[in-house]
Amino acid sequence: MDLNDKIVADTWAKSFSSAKDLPKQLTSDHRSFTSFNNQQQQKKWEVSSILDYNNRIQPPFPEFNHTPEAPRNHNSQIKGPDREDMQSNEKPDNKRFQEWDPRVMLNNLSFLEDKIHQLQDLVHLIVGRRGRVLGQSDELATQQQQLITADLTSIIVQLISTAGSLLPSIKHTLSTANPAIGQLGQLGSMLFPPTNSLNGVVLQQNSGGSKVSGQSNQIDLTVNCGTEQNYAAEEHDPKDDDDDADEGENLAPGSYEILQLEKEEILAPHTHFCMICGKGFKRDANLRMHMRGHGDEYKTPAALAKPNKDSSEPMLLKRYSCPYAGCKRNKDHKKFQPLKTILCVKNHYKRTHCDKSYTCSRCNTKKFSVIADLKTHEKHCGRDKWLCSCGTTFSRKDKLFGHIALFQGHTPALPLDETKPSSLPSDRTENNESKLGNIGFNFSASGSGGNAIQNMVDVKGAVDDPAAYFSPLNFDPCNIPGFHEFPRPTFEESDGFFSFPIPGACNYNQKTGGDSGSNDLE
């Protein structure tokens, strides 16, 4: 969720709201681009075929060339109408989904617009220079091209990350970026492979525009191939797809295809979007479940089936590269170790190259960049109940033992609840008093437990509610006051926060025979 504020805070902030400018660039050059909207084709499209498609992206393009509608009309030169188009398309959407603040969106769009303008100026400048200095070195040209590529990529990615909610009737960034496609939103529940083609198109267009030979177009294409799989892939339990899952894999360098996603694609929160209402989902299966609510045609076994099972065509092994230069998982690294799946890429990138912005609300010290990691930690947080007086915590008692045995002056520290007077023997009725003490204790424990649960609910709400993605800052602040309000949560409560075991306090009663035996006089 913080993905978004990160992006906002990032270098890409300027280009944030230029979404509407993108379509014209995308469509201006590549004629086959809008062919994706062809309904007939969509039905055939399974994830596997998408992947195939990406490998040989050019040949099938002409086939899909029958929808020359709105996108055709868009030209990079005609800015005004395009912008209007865009806005007119968006407004109904916004009305339909009241949780999206149109003003915020407008703001974003104008940001994006500015960014596009800047880029346009830059390209103009380059073109102008090129005309004057013909003998310019190839290096400079390459640099310029890379600069523009980077800028464009940033814009696109910005668009991707916001598109899901900005233009809800469209499934993907491409469609989001393209208002015409947005109008064709009734097409069905197909999955789009747009990001790939989007990037490829952009690059081609870019290089074409600047008259520089696209040196890395091919690579970028393959890189972007990953995106579809990303979108199509079921999101697994993060534990299964650990970074190191493929550590031991020994694939010959040429035996697999290396794909590389861009940072922003990796960080995009949702990868599946409802074509009708625009709601975003992390998993394809969730989307399909969701689609059932839009009509009977989505309830057929075919529509509910997992899409990519019937691919019989042998595929080249795919492995992924981390876009972060210098990373061992980056394909340029000397000892490159590829990542196995998209999810691996995502988790690896977040864990390794992103800020750890999820703070555990219990211990307030541990931070994570992957929310699943946070949840895993929270399950065990506080279980590190073996405390030393020096403040070190241990998950296992024997570790604490070793620590205490080793260091002079260190003492095992009691868990916080121990130091509270849990049973106050009184002058009058001892039993009642101690019960009272326990009740008080339970209350505080359950209070904090409830609080933790509340936090968890907040997290969940934020995950499920698309709107929450765009106000991610709400997440942390709502945790913090809860944390301070109650005593530090104690261990065990994640299991049963209302039944905190107080050893001996309640179970052992003064009245038992053994105790009375102690009163025997000699």
Partner 1 sequence: MSTMKRQRSDKAFNFTPFDLLTEEIVFLILDFLDENPLDKKSFSLVCKTFYAIESRHRRTLKPLRSEHLTTILSRYPHVTSLDLSLCPRITDSSLNVISHVCKSNLKSVDLSRSKFFSHIGISGLALNCSNLMELDLSNATEIKDSAAAAIAEAKNLEKLWLARCKSITDIGIGCIAVGCRKLRLISLKWCLGVGDLGVGWLAVKCKDICSLDLSYLPITNKCLPAILKLQHLEDLVLEGCFGIDDNSLTVLKQGCKSLKTLDMSSCQNVSHVGLLSLTSGAECLQQLILAYGSPVTLALADSLQNLSTLQSIRLDGCQVTCSGLKAIGNWCVSLRELSLSKCLGVSDEGFSTLVTKHKDLRKLDITCCRKITHVSIAHITNSCPSLTSLKMESCALVPREAFVLIGLRCRLLEELDLTDNEIDDEGLKSISRCSKLSTLKLGICLNITDEGLSQIGLCCTRLVELDLYRSVGISDAGILAVAHGCTGLEIINVAYCGEITDHSLMSLAKCPRLNTLEIRGCPLVTSLGLTSIAVGCKQLSKLDIKKCYNINDAGMIPLAHFAQNLRQINLSYSSVADVGLLSLASISCLQSMTILHMKGLTPSGLASALLACGGLTKVKLQACFKSMLPQPLFEHLEARGCVFQWRDKAFQAEVDPKCWKLQPEDVQ
Contacting positions for partner 1 (CB under 8 A):
386, 397-398, 400-401, 404-405, 409-414, 418-419, 421-431, 434, 503-505, 508, 510-511, 513-516, 518-521
Closest to partner 1 by CB, 204 or 422: 422
Residue 276, Cβ density class (10 Å: 0-12 exposed, 13-18 middle, ≥19 buried): buried
Determine contact, residues 34/180, Cβ cutoff 8 Å. Answer: yes
Least distance between partner 1 and beta carbon 364 (Å): 23
Nearest distance from C-beta of residue 500 to partner 1, angstroms: 14
Q: How far apart are CA 151 and CA 334, in angstroms?
A: 28
Give me the DSSP letters along 226-271: HHHHHHHSPPPPTTTT-GGGGTT----TTSEEEEE--HHHHH-S--
Name the residue nearer to partner 1 (CB basis): 295 or 407.
407
For residue 260, which phi and psi values (nearest 5 degrees)? -135, 125
Q: Which residues contact 260 (CB under 8 A, 6 or more apart)?
A: 222, 223, 226, 320, 321, 322, 323, 331
Give the nearest distance from C-beta 443 to partner 1 in angstroms: 19
Give 345 or 502: the residue with its C-beta nearer to partner 1. 502
Least Å distance, CB 378 to partner 1, is 24
Residues 136, 129: Cα–Cα separation, whole Å:
9
CB of 403 to partner 1, least distance (A): 10
Q: What one-character-per-residue DSSP string does 288-346 give? A: HHHHGGG-GGGGSHHHHS-GGGG--S---EEEEE-SSTT-TTSTTSTT---BSSHHHHH
d(CA 450, CA 458): 12
- Looking at the Cβ atoms of 65 and 516, the one nearer to partner 1 is 516
132 versus 428: smaller Cβ distance to partner 1: 428
Q: How far is the CB of 503 from partner 1 (least distance, A)?
A: 6
Nearer to partner 1, 434 or 451 (CB): 434
Between the alpha carbon of residue 200 and those of residues 26, 70, 282, 355, 481, the distances in Å are 10, 21, 24, 29, 47
Nearest residue (CB) to partner 1, 107 versus 431: 431
For partner 1, the closer of residues 110 and 422 by Cβ is 422
Q: Label residue 335 exposed, middle or buried (CB < 10 Å: 0-12, 13-18, 19+).
A: exposed
Closest distance between partner 1 and the C-beta of residue 497, in Å? 21
As measured in angstroms, the least distance from the Cβ of 489 to partner 1 is 19
Strand 317-321 with 256-260, pairing:
parallel
